[in-house]
Structures are given as C-alpha cells and as structure tokens.
Structure 1
Amino acid sequence: MAVMQVVRSEWTKIRSVASTAWTLSLAVVVTLALGVLISALSRRESGSMDPRARLSFDPTLVSFAGMTLGQLAMIVFGVLVVSTEYSTGMIRTSLAAVPRRGVFLASKVAVATALALVVGMATSFAAFFLGQAMLGPLGTSLGEPGVLRAVVGGGLYMTLIAVFSMGIATMLRSPLLSLGILMPFFFLISNILGNVSATKKVGRFLPDQAGSRIMEVVPRAADDTPYGPWGGLGIMVLWVVAALAGGYAVLRRRDA
C-alpha cells in the first residue's frame, strides 16, 4: 500500500472515532475556561499583590493556566489514537494491510500530530487573547518581547504532550495501562519531583517541566535552571523522540 493511502486510512480511522473529537474538544474547553477564570481572579487580586510578586507576574503564563488540565485531555487523545486498535483487535487487520510497521506507525503519528498541532495552536492563541482580555491593564500583547514565542510554544507544548503519549501507548498497547501511568506521572509525580528541593534538579528535566518553560516570558525569581525556553522545549522533543523510538521497537518485535 502506498504511503499516501496509509495516511488517508489513518485519517479515516481518527475522524471516525467519536472519542477523538470529544477529547480534543475537552482539551480546548478546559484550557480556555480555566485560563479565563485564573486570569479574571488574578486581575481581581492584583490590588493586594506585593512588589516582589508584581515584578515576577507573567500575564502570558497566567493566560495558559488551563493547560495544566488541558494537557490531560491531550494525553487521552494520544493514547486513544494508538491503543483503540489494540483494544478492539483491529490492529491485526491494520498490520495485515500495512505490513511495513514503520510506515504504519509513522503515518498514524503524522496524522494525529497534525491534528493535535492545529488544535493546540488554536487553543494557545485563543487562551492568550481571552486571558489578556480578562487581565485588562495587567495584560500584555503579541508585540511584546517573547510573547509570540510563548504563544506559539504553548501550541507546540500541547502537541508534544499528545505525541509523547502516542509513543508510550505504542509501547504499552493497553489504554488503561497507558493512562494509568501517564496521568499520575504528569499530574502528580512530575509536580512533586519538580517542587521538592531534594529532587528539583532532576524534576526540571522531565518532559512537561522542561517543555512548559517555552510558555514563560517573565523570568522566575532566583531561577537557576540551566536552560532557556527553547532549550526546555528541545529537552521535551528528546523525550518524545525516545518514546516514539521505544514504541517502534516494541511494534516491530511483538506480534499484534
């Protein structure tokens, strides 16, 4: 089967599964709703802000507050794109039709990544503009230094979260096992490792901790992180590449 036929086939699979639309819609709604809420609360509480907090206040990052939960929906999307075929048994039919497993996986990841990128970018820009509207005089604009980079980076971050999840799901093959590992990892374990002094230096090299730096415009107070916004995103890309490589290795060696 030609590569473009495989790509079209994967697109048909993704758009024919209702859970795909629901998870992406949830990512958008949760990210925007929570971002608007936190931005509005930040404006309301601005009068009681101490001078040090004002200096480190990052209006761009505040508008992305919803991505903490929005990324969980992107994780679910990434897992379902891959593992649905395993749970239904359709993976046998798919691999029989496309015996070149590298082409099969690359096509699936390419289509899902493109879809996640469109949704991620649209969500990031919408979250920024809505957040700045709520912040009012505390807000910023795309023309300010570093802001456009942060907004574009927000879309890339959400996309990479989904692709990383695809790689892990390809390795584990089970939706329950994949979500059972990824959800606690991003929502709990990573935050603990990144905020406890004994493990902070290790935690900041985890994919979400490193990648989220791309969304920051105002530097953190007394920050000693050894990489900048693009360096952090680069670390996240390495995690994604490793996850996809592991997924391909498992797919190539195991039976369906």
Structure 2
Amino acid sequence: MTTPHQHQDAAASAMPPQAPTPAPPLQRSGPVPQQPPTAAPGAGPVPPYEGFSPAVPAQASTTAPVGAPPVAPPRTAAPQAQPFAAGASQGSYAPAPAGGGAYTSPIPVRRTHFGHALASEWTKIRTVRSTMWTLGIMFALVVGIGTLAALGLDSSDEAQTPILAGGLFGLMLGQICIITLGVLVVSSEYGTGMVRTTLTACPSRSRVLAAKAVVFFLLAFVMTTAATALTALINSSILGGKPALEYADIPKESIVDGVVIATSSEWLGATVGAGLYVALLGLLSLAVGALLRHSAGAITTMLGVVLLPLLLALFMVTESLQEVREKLIEYSPLNGLASLYRIPMDGGQGDGWDLLWILAGVTAAVLVAAFALLEKRDV
C-alpha cells in the first residue's frame, strides 16, 4: 500500500527536467559609457578624445532606498573671515591666503598728505569759471585805470606826485575783485553743499582750510603783483624824467637833480608790497567767509572793513572827534595801500609796511578763529 507522498515523488521523477529561466537584461538610464581607445603594439601614447574621461573611483552611494524619507545634505561650516595678512597695505579688503603668505593688493594704496589737498584745491580753483573772470577783471582794472591815470598826469610838464602813484587808483577797485574771490573760495561750497563731499574725501578739516588758504593766497599774490608791476612799468615810461613841482608832496629821496625818479623802495612798495597787501585782504576775506559761511554776508562785511573807516572819518568834522577821525584815516585799509605808493591819506610820511604787518596780524587772528570753529561745528 502506497501513501500520498510516495505518489507525488513518483510523479515528479517521471517529469522531464526544465531549463532555468534567464533573468531580464538590465536597462541603463544614462548614455552608454565609451571605452577608451587601444593603441597598436609599438605605437605611442593615445591622445585624449572628446567624450572620454578617466575612470573615477566609485564612491558610496548616498541615494536613499525607495520609500525612505529624503536625507538632507550634510552641513558644511561657513568660512570664517581671516585676518589681513601681515604687511598688507592699509585699505586692501582681500583676506590673507590660507597658507599664511602676505597679500599684495593690485590697487596702489598711499597715505594722503597735505600735498594731495593742495592739488585738489588748485584743481577746483582753476577749473571754476568765476575765478578766471574775477582775476581777469581785476587785471584789466589795475592796468587800465593805472594807464589812464598816468596819461592824465602826463598832461602837466612837472611831476606832481611820485612816478608810480598812478597805479593806486586802479588797485583801489581791483582789490574788490580779490576780496570777492576770497569769500567765494569757501562760501560757494557751503552754498552748493559741495563742502560735504570735500570733507568726506578729506576728513581733516584743518587740512582743507589750510590748503584753500595757501592756494588762494599764492594765486592772489602772483596775479596782483603781476598787474601792479606792469602798471608801474607803464607809469615809469610815461612820467619818468619830469622835473618836480615846487610845492608837490613828493619824498625828497625821490628827487635827484630836480628830476623825479622812482627809488628801489618805491618799486618794492608799489609792486611786491601792494601785491602782499591785497593778497592779505583776500586771505582775510577767505577767513571771514569760513566764519560766516554765507557769500553775501561775508562780502558785505569785508566791504565795510575796507570802506567804512574812511567814510566815517569824512563825516567827523567836529573838534571833539578830531582824534578819532585821524586814527580812522591812519589805520584804514585804503590808507595802508596808499602809503605803499608814497601818497598817504593822513599826510604822514610812512611807507606803508607797518600797516601791512598790522593787517597780517589781524588776518592771522581771524584765520585761527576760523580753524577753531570749523573743527567744532557741523558743516
């Protein structure tokens, strides 16, 4: 008697054997990798060709299995700012390399100095159109009116004034141009707001004001001295060689053998002295402009300083004010300028140099006050 298990074993042994089912071929999702070319025996190295890259070692796959939650990429520490390399120039913003070597900026960085401020102020003052117009009008007034004065004095056969005195009349008007320009050198930047840009580029306020003062003073002195020198040459050529009038108020040292000449001290006073005097008035105007920061107010103030003492003295006719009148005339700016031409308004015999030093002291005091206020207050 056979069991069910024995019948199943007998049936299985009677069936023919079957071949195993082959696995389906794998499908690639990307392009088929190309095989590198092979070289023939004895040939040189095979050159690289497009599309071939050397084999890279396989890395561990970071792909998550199907159905697993997404894995965040690993966090990397943010690069920390490295200190500047030792020896790097100030103002370079590139960090030092990781190796510790010094970094050299391709942009040259130099420490600024007073010469840079001078160059900046010279560029500004020579590129402004009003500077050329103002100096041109001053030059025309000094030379033109001085020449007309010499032609008027030439109508007489005898010399009534020192030979170079005719240059005073043109300079009395020409100095107003220098005063106006001195005020505008500072106050125009406050009016337009350009002073903020200037002080941002050069935070040292004292350096800015000093550069303005130096550039303007030199420019005013050179232009005024050139104008007065040309006027003096014209007056000397027209009025030279004339005999002195008997009662003319002419210094004795200017009369040689009855003929009026121009001494070396007169030449110095009528050229360099007059140039210094007008340039100092312009520098005083610049300081007043820095104090007031307003063009109209500073110009009006300076015109009052120049003209008001003499105008007040003209109306002091009473005896009680006679002493005050004499002092106002003696120390007025116009009398100081006239004394340099040997025709003082107070009837004295001064040469004008003492009044020039007084003007220099007043100008220095006002400049110090302008420097102090510029450092303390806002622009």
Counterpart of 1:204, as a letter, is E
Task: For residue 221 of structure 1, report the CA deviation from its aligned partner.
Answer: 8.3
Distance 1:233 1:84, change over 3 A: same
Higher relative contact order (CA 8 A, sep 6+): 1
Q: Following the alignment from structure 2 to structure 1, what is the Cα–Cα distance between the partners of residues 332 and 205?
A: 29
- The aligned counterpart of 1:27 is 138
Question: Structure 1 residues 220 and 92 mapped into 2: Cα distance closer, same or farther (>3 Å)?
Answer: closer
Instruction: Please tell me whether the aligned partners of residues 131 and 181 of structure 2 are also in contact (alpha carbons under 8 angstroms).
Output: yes
Partners of 1:73 and 1:222 lie apart in 2 by: 28
**Which residue of the partner structure matches residue 99 of structure 1?**
203
Where does residue 116 of structure 1 map in the other structure?
220
Structure 1 residue 243 corresponds to structure 2 residue 366? yes
Counterpart of 1:149 (choices 268, 271, 291) is 268
Query: In structure 1, the residue corresponding to 2:369 is in which secondary structure?
Result: helix
Q: CA deviation at 1:185?
A: 3.4
Distance in 1, Cα, partners of 2:342 & 2:351? 11
Amino acid at match of 2:360: V
**What's the counterpart of residue 302 of structure 2?**
182
Larger Rg: 2
In the TM superposition, 1:55-134 aligns within 5 A as: 57-134=161-238
Give the number of the structure whose residues are more often helix, by fraction.
Answer: 1
What's the Cα RMSD here?
2.4
2:305 equivalent to 1:201: no
Displacement of 1:218 = 6.1
Number of residues paired by the alignment? 244
For 1:192, the equivalent position in structure 2 comes to 311
Instruction: Sort the Cα spacing of 1:209 and 1:245 in 2 relative to 1 into closer, same or farther, 3 A.
Output: farther
TM-score by length of 2: 0.59
The equivalent residue for 1:253 is 376
What amino acid is aligned across from residue 300 of structure 2 in structure 1? G
Distance 1:178 1:222, change over 3 A: closer
Q: CA deviation at 1:42?
A: 1.6
Deviation at 1:216, TM superposition (A): 2.6
CA apart distance, 1:243? 2.2
Residue identity in the other structure for 2:342:
V
In the alignment, the residues of structure 1 paired with residue 199 and residue 338 of structure 2 have an alpha-carbon distance, to the nearest angstrom, of: 36
- Write the distance in 2 (CA, Å) between the matches of 1:181 and 1:61: 28
- How far did 1:207 drift? 4.0
Alpha-carbon distance in 2 for matches of 1:206, 1:248? 26
Instruction: Mark the runs of 5 or more structure 1 residues left unpaired by the alignment.
Output: none
Match of 1:4 in 2: 115
